[in-house]
């Protein structure tokens, strides 16, 4: 985790140095911008990450600030909303910071690398058992946060982009024995005991692969497609294949989106959430998501 | 898992389809912006023979404070056999200038503004249109 933070700091320093060497314009040319900053606010009827809802199937919002420098350095800060049902005790916010470098030709081969970290402030699972003895007494307890760090590699051709993410933090969004195994207790005791029986395990080394398409149908409408694969280290039941297919249409400076998104999961138990009122929902359910986004 | 992979392969093949060869003159003419708020005329620059200039010749906001009538939005100096390059693109909304590249593909014109490398940018896609009946008044 510390190594990722060091990478983020180094990338920020590199960006500051590059900015200091911005080129001066020629006498007969207008001044050319050496960097760009774009801010986008998006509201959606559900906020899913890789086909799994972060908002208990309820509407969500995200603010994204994207930075690009002529050296190829890129940065992105995103502040999204999450539900306390999915992330207990959280302040309902999910900040994410990514820093990296991108190069190539957008109409042919393009590529990039980045380091990213997402936080779930205050979200924590406290005192969850890490295993049970023969008398079904806990053999230990653990506190778990959901913060996650990633190393990212990107390779694309034209409108297609493949992105590989490798989890370098101890857990991938809080996935460990004390948080995953309880999901099986209500539905499959044998699976729960098997899950606990292997001792306290974490999910560093989880691998994610995203394949994204943004194909312009005309000047104002894009076809959006996504396929993603998630392989969670030590917890095969969390493996998923997710999909997204929709349209984005720009009018009056606003992007209107409609897409069908969901995930195919290996085990359903870890993807079922129950709120305080007893409402049970599948977070991986395929559904139509409507969105509206405005760039500033 | 097999079917999504097949779908992905089909999508990859589709987006990689080759397009017909363009010529430098393909970009000449009048083009309607994606938001249908402006018509831009591309032609040889009056002040730089051999270069391509784009100028707003109709703006739906004409006569308002947002009026961009007559504003030059692009100057590109070199045709490389595939695209117009080496110049700048002006964004009238942000009043900023960026590096630019312009490609004509049939009835579509793709004007890309970027910082540093082409991949760090955004493309405005325009469609060919007739010259406006009521063009901008000369500035």
Q: How many Å separate Cα B106 from the centre of its chain?
A: 13
DSSP code of residue A33: P
Separation in Å, CA of B47 to nearest CA in chain A? 12
A-chain residues within 8 Å CB-CB of B127? 218-219
B-chain residues within 8 Å CB-CB of A159? 15
CA distances from A176 to A129, A171, B110 (A): 11, 6, 48
The pLDDT, as a whole number, for residue A183 is: 84
B-chain residues within 8 Å CB-CB of A103? 117, 119
Please report, rounded to a whole number, the percentage of residues in chain B having pLDDT higher than 70: 83
A102 touches chain B (CB under 8 A): yes
Residue A243, exposed/middle/buried by CB under 10 A (0-12, 13-18, 19+)?
buried
Q: What is the average per-residue pLDDT within B28-39?
A: 91
CA distances from A287 to A54, A121, A259 (A): 14, 28, 8
On whether ipTM exceeds 0.85, the answer is no
Given a cut of 50, whether residue B16 has pLDDT beyond it is: no
For chain A, residues with pLDDT lower than 50 are 1-4, 7-25, 27
- Higher-confidence residue: A268 or B98? B98
The pLDDT, as a whole number, for residue A288 is: 98
Phi then psi for A107, rounded to 5 degrees?
A: -95, -5
Given a cut of 60, whether residue B20 has pLDDT beyond it is: no
A260 touches chain B (CB under 8 A): no
The pLDDT, as a whole number, for residue A47 is: 97
pLDDT grade for B128, boundaries at 50, 70 and 90: very high
Identify the H or E element spanning B61: none
The pLDDT, as a whole number, for residue A133 is: 86
Residue A153, exposed/middle/buried by CB under 10 A (0-12, 13-18, 19+)?
middle
B99 and A104 in contact by Cβ < 8 A? no
Residue A257 near residue A248 (C-beta atoms within 8 A)? yes
Q: Which residues have a Cβ under 8 Å from the Cβ of A260 and sit 6 or more positions away?
A: A244, A245, A246, A286, A287, A288, A289
Given a cut of 80, whether residue B12 has pLDDT beyond it is: no
The pLDDT, as a whole number, for residue A11 is: 45
The pLDDT, as a whole number, for residue B139 is: 62
Question: Which residue pairs from A269-273 have beta carbons closer than 8 angstroms and sit at least 24 positions apart in sequence?
Answer: A269/A183, A269/A184, A269/A186, A269/A187, A269/A188, A269/A191, A269/A237, A270/A180, A270/A183, A270/A184, A270/A235, A270/A237, A270/A238, A271/A52, A272/A183, A273/A56, A273/A85, A273/A86
The pLDDT, as a whole number, for residue B6 is: 54
Phi then psi for B28, rounded to 5 degrees?
A: -70, 145
| Residue closest to A212 by CA, chosen among A168, A268, A158, A146 | A158
Token pair for B50? 């051999």
Instruction: Report d(CA A53, CA A30) in Å as an integer.
Output: 47
B-chain residues within 8 Å CB-CB of A219? 33-34, 108, 124-127
A2 touches chain B (CB under 8 A): no
Facing A216 at nearest CB: one of B1, B115, B125: B125
Q: Which residues have a Cβ under 8 Å from the Cβ of A175 and sit 6 or more positions away?
A: A202, A203, A206, A232, A235, A238
The pLDDT, as a whole number, for residue B4 is: 52
In B60-139, which ranges are E strands?
72-79, 84-91, 96-105, 108-114, 121-128
Residues of B in CB contact (< 8 Å) with A are: 1, 4, 7-8, 11-12, 15-16, 33-35, 88, 90, 96-99, 103, 108, 112, 115-121, 123-127
B119 and A105 in contact by Cβ < 8 A? yes
Q: Helix or strand or coil: residue B2? A: helix
The pLDDT, as a whole number, for residue A178 is: 94
Residue A250, exposed/middle/buried by CB under 10 A (0-12, 13-18, 19+)?
middle
Q: Which of A28, A33, A34 to mutate to test the interface with B (most CBs of B within 10 A)?
A: A33
């Amino acid at each position: 985790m510390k190594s990722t933070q060091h990478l983020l700091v180094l990338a920020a320093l590199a960006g500051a140095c590059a900015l200091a060497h911005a080129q001066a314009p020629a006498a007969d040319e207008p001044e050319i911008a050496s960097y760009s900053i774009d801010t986008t606010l998006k509201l959606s009827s559900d906020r899913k990450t890789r086909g799994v809802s972060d908002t208990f199937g309820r509407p969500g919002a995200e603010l994204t600030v994207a930075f690009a420098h002529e050296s190829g350095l890129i940065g992105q800060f995103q502040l999204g909303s999450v539900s306390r049902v999915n992330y207990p005790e959280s302040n309902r916010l999910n900040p994410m910071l990514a820093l990296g470098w991108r190069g190539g030709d957008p109409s042919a081969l393009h590529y990039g690398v980045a380091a990213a970290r997402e936080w779930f402030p205050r979200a924590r699972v406290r005192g969850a058992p890490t295993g049970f003895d023969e008398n079904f007494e806990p053999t230990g307890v653990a506190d778990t946060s959901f913060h996650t760090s990633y190393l990212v590699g990107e390779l694309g051709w034209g409108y297609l982009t493949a992105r590989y993410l490798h989890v370098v933090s101890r857990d991938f969004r809080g996935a460990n024995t004390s948080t995953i195994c309880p999901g099986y207790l209500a539905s499959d005791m044998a699976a729960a005991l098997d899950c606990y029986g292997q001792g306290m395990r974490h999910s560093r080394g989880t691998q994610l692969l995203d394949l994204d398409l943004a194909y312009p149908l005309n000047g104002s409408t894009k076809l959006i497609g996504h396929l993603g694969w998630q392989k969670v280290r030590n917890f095969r039941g969390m493996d998923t294949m997710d999909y997204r297919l929709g349209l984005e249409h720009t009018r009056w400076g606003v992007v209107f989106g409609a897409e069908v998104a969901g995930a195919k999961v290996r085990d359903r138990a870890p993807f079922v959430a129950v709120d305080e009122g007893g409402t049970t929902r599948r977070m991986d359910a395929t559904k139509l998501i409507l969105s509206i986004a405005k760039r500033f | 898992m097999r079917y999504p992979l097949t779908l992905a392969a089909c999508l990859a093949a589709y987006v990689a389809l080759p397009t017909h060869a363009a010529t430098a003159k393909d970009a000449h003419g009048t083009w309607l912006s994606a938001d249908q708020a402006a018509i831009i005329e591309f032609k040889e620059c009056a002040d730089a023979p051999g270069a391509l200039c784009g100028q707003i010749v109709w703006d739906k906001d004409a006569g308002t404070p947002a009026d961009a009538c007559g504003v030059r939005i692009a100057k590109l100096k070199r045709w490389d056999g595939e695209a117009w390059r080496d110049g700048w693109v002006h964004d009238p909304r942000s009043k900023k200038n960026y590096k630019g590249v312009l490609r004509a593909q049939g009835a579509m014109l793709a004007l890309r503004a970027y910082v540093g490398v082409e991949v760090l940018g955004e493309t405005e896609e325009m469609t060919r249109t007739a010259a406006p009946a009521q063009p901008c008044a000369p500035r």
